[in-house]
């Protein structure tokens, strides 16, 4: 397929990254600087509390909460998950598709519910992660080990190299969106309402749940669960799995992570072709709920200019840098 063509479904095939900055790591893999960083005790205490509360919430989820509360927590997990996958990740960090304002409003609400900081800050760190992958300028540099890339990076001050190199990042597209500017400006008010207060009040008010069950299940357990699923993309999917597209990088195809992360575990593909809105070679029926969500909105025109990669380019890349496992993935049949 010729470069930059649009197929019958309105999907744009590009030969180059939407944001060229993110196409390839600029710096080759280097020895991680493991020198001690300054601990951030506020975060250490908050995350310790969250995880203990979430364990208790998991117990209540199984043995005490009303079924409506469990279903509600699951729905919140999917909504906040989409706020990260379809919103912060595929739309705002990677610009892999465009969205009309009503969809951007839905996504920013979902994103606030997820409490992973404002979408602008999330996208800033994520652009660094792709541009300087596995170096000191990568916020969750996986060469520093599983713990650091999972949660440790949120417990210490960032590496000076990240702050220095980060100055050169272009975020003008993000600041141009008034919806994102609004979220960032009022984040400290919007986030507690969306992530903690409403999820606690709604079960009590609408189906007579106890305050304890509502708070520990729909707020604490659900929030900690989705955080850990997200972090697994940085830790597990940078460590375990096949590398059908590029064997020279750490990100890997990790099915288990994909199941929980709404289709975001095909991480070898994603780091090789970061501008593909599917974050995987094929999407629809292949453990990729987020792709289905975007496709649904593409049908009504709220999502458009979906970018992907032609089969020819993928095949050439597989032959050139793959680890030989591509055929094992059964990617042969289009879905
Ligand atoms: C959370 C985020 O959990 C998780 C993100 C995971 C990403 C996953 C990606 C995987 C792919 C997608 C898959 C999704 C799957 C989802 C599945 C769903 C089912 N560039 O940050 P500060 C500069 S959040 C440029 O304070 P410190 C800048 O000047 C959890 N410059 O650094 C900045 O000032 P300003 C809840 C940068 O002081 C200044 O440095 N949130 C960059 O070292 C200071 O920045 C929390 O727990 C950059 N990238 O503190 C809070 N970064 O901002 C966590 C910084 O004014 N964060 N600068 O421009 C913190 O508390 C702090 O950031 C810190 C570092 C302690 C970690
Ligand atoms: Zn990654
Ligand atoms: Zn990405």
- Note the pLDDT tens digit of each residue in 247-297: 999 999 999 999 999 999 999 999 999 999 999 998 656 789 999 999 999
Give 274 Cα–ligand 2 centroid separation in angstroms: 10
pLDDT of res. 38: 92
pLDDT of res. 16: 42
Give the residue, out of 78, 158, 263, 266, with the most ligand 1 atoms within 8 A of its beta carbon, to mutate for a pocket test: 158
Residue 125 Cβ < 6 Å to ligand 1: yes
Give the residue, out of 82, 230, 252, with the most ligand 1 atoms within 8 A of its beta carbon, to mutate for a pocket test: 230
pLDDT of res. 1: 38
With a cut of 0.85, is the ipTM above it? Answer: yes
**203 in any annotated domain:** yes
**335 in any annotated domain:** no
Q: In this structure, are residues 149 and 140 in contact, taking their beta carbons and an 8 Å threshold?
A: yes
pLDDT of res. 17: 43
Pairing of strands 306-308, 11-13: parallel
**161 in any annotated domain:** yes
Structural domain count of the chain: 1
pLDDT of res. 36: 62
**200 in any annotated domain:** yes
**90 in any annotated domain:** yes
pLDDT of res. 27: 45
Q: Which of 177, 326, 175, 160 is nearest to 253 (CA)?
A: 326
Name the residue with tokens 């600087």: 33
pLDDT of res. 284: 57
pLDDT of res. 37: 73
Give 97 Cα–ligand 3 centroid separation in angstroms: 13
Give the residue, out of 42, 123, 139, 163, with the most ligand 1 atoms within 8 A of its beta carbon, to mutate for a pocket test: 163
pLDDT of res. 11: 52
Please report which helix (H) or strand (E) contains residue 46, including its range.
helix 41-63
Give the residue numbers spanning the domain of 112: 5-329
Atom 58 (ligand 1) nearest CA: 163
Q: Give the chain's residues under pLDDT 50.
A: 1-6, 8-10, 13-28, 333, 335
- Expressed in angstroms, the distance from the first to the final Cα of the chain is 19
Atom 1 (ligand 1) nearest CA: 116
**334 in any annotated domain:** no
Residue 13 backbone phi and psi in degrees, to 5: -100, 120
Residue 149 Cβ < 6 Å to ligand 1: no
Among the bound ligands, the one closest to the CA of 289: 1
Give 9 Cα–ligand 1 centroid separation in angstroms: 36
Task: Report the sign of the C-alpha dihedral through residues 174, 85, 292, 76, in that order.
Answer: negative
pLDDT of res. 331: 58
Give 64 Cα–ligand 3 centroid separation in angstroms: 38
**157 in any annotated domain:** yes
pLDDT of res. 272: 98
Residue 94 Cβ < 6 Å to ligand 1: no
pLDDT of res. 329: 79
Measured CA to CA, the distance from residue 83 to residue 117 in angstroms comes to: 12
pLDDT of res. 26: 42
Atom 55 (ligand 1) nearest CA: 163
Residue 27 makes CB contacts below 8 A (sequence gap 6+) with: 132, 135, 137
Give the residue, out of 154, 220, 227, 271, with the most ligand 1 atoms within 8 A of its beta carbon, to mutate for a pocket test: 154
**280 in any annotated domain:** yes
Whole-model pTM? 0.92
Q: Which of 267, 257, 308, 304 is nearest to 284 (CA)?
A: 308
pLDDT of res. 158: 96
């Amino acid at each position: 397929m010729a470069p930059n063509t649009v197929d019958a479904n309105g999907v744009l095939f590009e030969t180059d990254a939407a944001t060229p900055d993110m196409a390839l790591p600029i710096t080759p893999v280097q020895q991680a600087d493991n020198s001690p960083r300054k601990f951030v005790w506020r975060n250490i205490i908050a995350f310790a509390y969250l995880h203990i509360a979430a364990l208790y919430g998991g117990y209540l989820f199984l043995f005490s909460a009303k079924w409506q509360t469990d279903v509600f927590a699951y729905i919140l997990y999917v909504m906040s998950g989409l706020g990260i996958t379809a919103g912060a990740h595929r739309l705002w960090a990677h610009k892999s598709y465009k969205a009309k304002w009503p969809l951007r409003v839905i996504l920013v609400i979902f994103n606030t519910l997820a409490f992973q900081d404002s979408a602008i800050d999330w996208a800033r760190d994520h652009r660094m992660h792709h541009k300087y992958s596995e170096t000191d300028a990568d916020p969750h540099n996986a060469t520093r080990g599983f713990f650091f890339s999972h949660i440790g990076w949120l417990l210490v001050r960032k590496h000076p190299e990240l702050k220095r190199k980060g100055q050169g990042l272009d975020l003008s597209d993000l600041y141009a969106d008034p919806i994102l500017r609004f979220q960032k400006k009022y984040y400290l008010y919007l986030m507690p309402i969306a992530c903690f207060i409403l999820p606690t009040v709604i079960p009590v008010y609408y189906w007579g749940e106890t305050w304890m069950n509502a708070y520990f299940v729909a707020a604490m357990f659900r929030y900690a669960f989705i955080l850990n699923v997200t972090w697994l993309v940085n830790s597990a999917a940078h460590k375990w799995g096949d590398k059908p597209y590029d064997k020279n990088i750490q990100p890997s195809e990790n099915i288990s992570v994909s199941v929980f992360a709404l289709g975001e575990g095909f991480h070898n593909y994603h780091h090789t072709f970061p501008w593909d809105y599917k974050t995987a070679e094929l999407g629809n029926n292949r453990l990729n709920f987020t792709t289905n969500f975007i496709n649904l909105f593409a049908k009504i025109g709220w999502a458009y200019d979906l970018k992907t990669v032609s089969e020819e380019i993928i095949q050439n890349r597989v032959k050139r840098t793959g680890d030989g496992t591509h055929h094992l993935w059964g990617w042969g049949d289009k879905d």
